Amino acid sequence: MTTTKPSTTNPITNTDRVLIFDTTLRDGEQSPGASMNLAEKLEVARTLETLGVDIIEAGFPVASPGDFEAVKAIAEQSTRSIICGLARALKGDIDRAAEAVKPAGKRARIHVFLATSAIHRQFKLNKVKEEIVKQARESVAYAKTLIDDIEFSPEDASRTEPDFLAEVVQAVIEAGARTVNIPDTVGYAYPNDYADLITYLRANVKDIDKAVISVHCHNDLGLAVANSLAAVRAGARQVECTINGIGERAGNCSLEEVVMAMRVRKDMFGGITTGIASAHLYGASRLVQSITGLMVQRNKAIVGDNAFAHESGIHQHGMMKNPECYEIMTPKSVGVPETNLVLGKHSGRAALGKHLETLGLGVSESDMGKLFDAFKVLADRKKEVYDGDLIALVEEVVRGRTVDSWVLDYLHTASSSGEGAGSGALATATVRLKKGEQRIIDAATGDGPVDAAVQAINRICGFTGSVEDFRLRAVTKGGDAQGEVSIRVRVKPVGEDGPGIVVGGKGLSTDIVHASALAYLDAINRVAFQTGRLDYRNATV
Q: Tell me: the pLDDT tens digits for 322-332? A: 655 645 677 77
Tell me, what amino acid is at 332? Answer: K
In a domain? residue 34: yes
Let me know if 362 is exposed, middle or buried by CB neighbors in 10 A (0-12, 13-18, 19+): exposed
Q: State the sign of the Cα–Cα–Cα–Cα dihedral 322, 326, 329, 335.
A: negative
Is residue 444 located within the same domain as residue 335?
A: no
Q: Phi/psi at 417 (nearest 5 deg)?
A: -135, 175
Residues contacting 351, CB < 8 A, separation 6+ = 313, 316, 317, 320, 341, 343
- What is residue 333's predicted lDDT score, i.e. its pLDDT? 82
Edge to edge, the sheet with strand 463-474 lists 463-474, 483-493, 501-509
Say if residue 160's pLDDT is above 50.
yes
Residue 140 pLDDT: 98
Res. 200: pLDDT tops 90: yes
323 lies in some domain: yes
Same domain, 257 and 351: no
337 and 266 inside one domain = no
Region 409-424: mean pLDDT is 69
Average pLDDT of the chain is 84
Q: Which of 398, 431, 457 is the last residue of a domain?
A: 398
Residue 412 has pLDDT above 50, yes or no: yes
Residue 411 and residue 344 share a domain: no
Average pLDDT over residues 371-394: 71
Q: Tell me whether strands 179-184 and 149-155 are parallel, antiparallel or unpaired.
A: parallel
**How many domains is the chain partitioned into structurally?**
3
- The answer to which of 14-23, 30-39, 132-141 has the lowest mean pLDDT is 30-39
Highest mean pLDDT among 19-28, 355-364, 481-490: 19-28
- Looking at the fold, whether 201 and 76 belong to one and the same domain comes out as yes
Residues 314 and 273 in one domain: no
| pLDDT score at 311 | 41
Report percent pLDDT > 70 for the chain. Answer: 80
The CATH number linked to 516 is 3.30.160.270
- 381 part of a folded domain: yes
With cut-offs at 50, 70 and 90, classify the pLDDT of residue 113: very high
Residue 314, pLDDT > 60, answer no
Q: At what angle do helices 349-358 and 313-321 cross, to 10 degrees?
A: 60
Residue 305 clears pLDDT 80, i.e. is over it: no
pLDDT given at position 6: 32
Host domain of residue 358: 309-398
| CATH number of the domain enclosing 284 | 3.20.20.70
Query: Which stretches of 162-270 are assigned E, i.e. beta strand?
Result: 179-184, 212-217, 238-241
Helix (H, G, I), strand (E, B), or coil: what is residue 24?
coil
Q: Can you give the pLDDT at residue 332? A: 79
Sign of CA dihedral 355, 360, 365, 369: negative
Claim to verify: residue 271 and residue 190 sit in the same structural domain: yes
pLDDT given at position 159: 97
Mean pLDDT of 390-397: 70
Residue 111 belongs to some domain of the structure: yes
**Residues 390 and 423 occupy one common structural domain:** no
Last residue of a domain, one of 338, 368, 398: 398
**Alpha-carbon gap, residue 389 to 363, rounded angstroms:** 15
Q: Are residues 431 and 383 in the same domain?
A: no
For residues 371 and 420, state if they share a domain.
no
Whether residues 254 and 357 share a domain: the answer is no
* pLDDT above 90 as % of the chain: 54
6 in a domain, yes or no? no
Asked if 133 and 156 sit in the same domain, the reply is yes
